[in-house]
A and B are shown apart, each in its own frame.
Chain A
Amino acid sequence: MSDLKIIARREVKETLRRPIFWISTLVFPLFMAAILFLNNASEKALAQKAEQQLKEATKIILVDKAGVIDPATVSDKVFEFSDNAASAKQAVVDGQADATFIYQTDIAKTGKVQVIENQTSDGNPLNIGRYNDLAVNLVQQSAFNSIPDPLSRQLANETLQTDTTTYHNGQPAKQLGDYLAPALVLGAYFLLLILTPNIFLMSVTEEKENRAMEMILTAVKLKDFILGKLSGLTLAAIAQILMLASISIVGFIIFGGNLPDGINFSLSSINWVQLALAVFYLLSGFIIIASLLIGVGSLATNAREAGNMVGPVIMLTIFPIYFITFILQDPSGGLALGTSYFPLTAPFILQVRNALGVIPTSEVIFSVITLATYTVAAVFLSLSMFKVGALDYNKRVSLKRLRNSLIKRK
């Protein structure tokens, strides 16, 4: 077996043994699911509690100066009409009524219903405004009841969906579902940027922290060592993404299995060239970042120090997220083009533009050549940096020494 394979196999094995790998792979989605679940449960609990409190209401006074409330809507004995707004308010203040809703004559102009309520006995601030929806719903239900035509009434009561067909230059335009596959690849890239740097830095500083580098360098070519590490870590990252994808798919199926409205997805809607391009951008971007992490990390003496050193690299790679709106608004503009060819932002921006399908064929070829060049350059830079820092067990390599070593080597 070649040295590269032996090293790659060890990297995969060791990475899969690291608790941080499983924490980021399993705990991260579980944590997200738990947050969603708790959020949902909490909203439901609040809604149930509010409903319960409404049921517990004994008297709600309606002052309908605008005449917009249909008496049939408020047949429940809890409601009571009044013409005197002042006394209705005072009834709430005195604790004789739970709430008073005042519908002023200019309601159509102001769009407002005045609600006077008593706070719940437990003083919970979250219950403030618990009658607001009811006060509004009474108007809307009354308006709905006033529609004479049964069909119109039915349509007014339903949430209608749209079935959109869009044309572009006389041809059917892409649907949202067509963007899904490259968008998922982009999501995978973003996840890799978030989840893998720590694992990489732990791996790259392992030999230095354990002072095993000298023995390694007498047995393995530096190139094989770096490429072996890179291959092993890339395989582990792919395994991580596949596991995350599997968890997401299982979760998606368990929790309904429906895409949001307006997104239709099928295998036939995948543009395989576009998808292949997205995967190329992802892999080259990942290798560029991983190489830089290995290179910069090798200049440090331990994983923590390396973490501080690679902070700016990570920041630059995720920086485009802050101006993504501008890119989406004008995916072929100057900002989009400029950041498409800066090494650290290129993989992300090119993936966004690829997902939008706005990269012309000539630029596709140029971008592939450029990213391939960046990838090779990043690997070589990483090799050079590693050679400088590999045996400095006790001290961080200074920028001056790095610069001198790189220049001397050239």
Chain B
Amino acid sequence: MKEMSKQPIVKIRDFSKAFGSKQVIKDLSFEVGSGEVFAFLGANGSGKTTTLRCLLGIYEADKGSLKVKGHKYQSSMSAILGYMPEERGLYLNGRVKETLIYFAELKGVSRLSAHKRATDYLQRVELASLAESKIKNLSSGQQQKIQIGTAVINNPELLILDEPTKGLDPINRQLLLELLEEHNRRGATIIFSTHIMEEVEEIADRLVMIKDGQRRLYGEVNKVKREFGSNTIHLKFSGKLPTSKLYTARSSKYSAELRPADAISSDQILAFLASHKDLSISNFDVSSPSLREIFVQLHGEEAKL
């Protein structure tokens, strides 16, 4: 994991935005270093998309500054940007390769080079045989690959992806993560928003988490987790997990995260669990909480994951 040591490529300071009487973002500040993979987290309606749209000049900010490479973003900077909005959109009547070339040209790639890049990309994502097909005739997964292609076709310096894995099957999700790693390896900065915390733990260097339009967590992923606590019990089990005042539990069928109550040690909890004969523990470790646990605790039970 990288510390934010390099010059920031994105710098947001005291940013506020309201729609009518609804304050969506209030005094938000964070930076994204060049070459980082940066996760932008928050529940539905927390203002992530609004922030990204303001950063890219699609909306006007009410207050504060949002800068890319030290400047307010303008379409003339599109050569360094790859953007995949939350609202996916492609010309459904357009042809696959033509669409990639069109977006490449709009981002300043020469027509000749755009042809080559489109061909290479289609081969990379195994869609070369569909180059002349209309996009509307592609499956949703294939369309998603083209959508990603329009974002990365110009080999951008800054790649902003708003919920990039939404709607992807596991294979295409893996392909996307590999693509992101490839672009990150060649030096691209990646900012992505997501609800899937495992993805953040898998690829992100740093994160910012917002709630009600305000920053709640910010920094290196592991550091954020450590700051949130280091005595969370991760349990794998079969049988029935008992309820107790010793801990608060977030569990699924065979695993759970237990957060000890005040002044309760993990040993006390282990002893309590061991005393229950209808519970068989296969794994027990004490470490920092997962981002999922942090997210849920921060947003409360009403948050939809």
Contacts and interface: CB of A to CB of B under 8 A. Distances in A.
A207 interface: yes
Contact of B53 (A214, A221, A393): A214
A364 interface: no
A214 B90 contact: no
B89 A215 contact: yes
A3 B108 CA distance: 8
Contacts of B88: 211
Interface residues of A, number: 24
A216 B83 CA distance: 10
A377 to B, nearest CB: 23
Contacts of B94: 14
A214 B89 contact: yes
Contacts of B90: 210, 212
A219 interface: yes
Contact of B107 (A206, A212, A219): A219
Interface in B50-81: 53, 56-58, 73-76, 78, 81
A209 B15 CA distance: 31
B274 interface: no
B105 interface: yes
Contact of A10 (B53, B102, B151): B102
Interface in B212-240: none
Contact of B83 (A14, A211, A218, A393): A218
A193 interface: no
Given A1-B111, A220-B106, A214 B75 contact: no
Nearest to A408: B60
A391 B94 CA distance: 20
A214 B99 CA distance: 15
Given A215-B83, A218-B57, A218-B58, A210 B75 contact: no
22 contacts: A1-B105, A1-B111, A3-B75, A3-B106, A6-B102, A14-B94, A17-B93, A207-B89, A210-B91, A212-B91, A214-B53, A215-B89, A215-B151, A217-B58, A218-B57, A218-B73, A218-B83, A219-B103, A219-B106, A220-B75, A221-B76, A393-B87
Contacts of A91: none
B58 A214 contact: yes
B85 interface: yes
Contacts, number: 66
Interface residues of B, number: 29
A218 B87 contact: no
A6 B75 CA distance: 15
Interface string A217-228: 111110010000
Contacts of A213: 89
B73 to A, nearest CB: 8
A7 B106 CA distance: 8
Given A10-B102, A210-B90, A215 B75 contact: no
B111 A206 contact: no
A184 to B, nearest CB: 34
A215 B57 contact: no
A375 to B, nearest CB: 25
Contacts of A14: 93-94
A215 B146 CA distance: 13
Given A1-B105, A3-B106, A218 B78 contact: yes
B305 interface: no
B92 interface: yes
B89 A218 contact: no
Given A3-B106, A214-B58, A221 B89 contact: no
Given A214-B85, A220-B75, A391 B92 contact: no
Contact of B91 (A206, A218, A219, A221): A206
Give the 8 A-B CB pairs with smallest separation, nearest first: A211-B89, A212-B89, A214-B85, A219-B78, A219-B106, A211-B87, A218-B56, A218-B83
B87 A219 contact: no
Contacts of B111: 1
Nearest to A212: B89
Interface in A187-246: 206-207, 210-221, 224
Contacts of A214: 53, 58, 83, 85, 87, 89
A5 to B, nearest CB: 10
A215 B85 contact: yes
A213 to B, nearest CB: 7
Nearest to A13: B98
Contacts of B106: 3, 6-7, 216, 219-220
Contacts of A212: 89-91
A217 B91 contact: no
B259 to A, nearest CB: 40
B89 to A, nearest CB: 3
Interface string B144-162: 0000001100000000000
A217 B92 CA distance: 18
B246 to A, nearest CB: 48
Interface string B5-39: 00000000000000000000000000000000000
B19 to A, nearest CB: 11
Interface string B229-263: 00000000000000000000000000000000000
Contacts of B92: 210
A391 B85 CA distance: 12
A218 B75 contact: yes
A210 B106 CA distance: 18
Contacts of A224: 75
Contacts of A206: 91
B91 A391 contact: no
B137 to A, nearest CB: 14
A391 B87 CA distance: 10
A207 B103 CA distance: 13
Nearest to A214: B85
A3 B104 CA distance: 11
A123 B81 CA distance: 80
Contacts of A391: 58
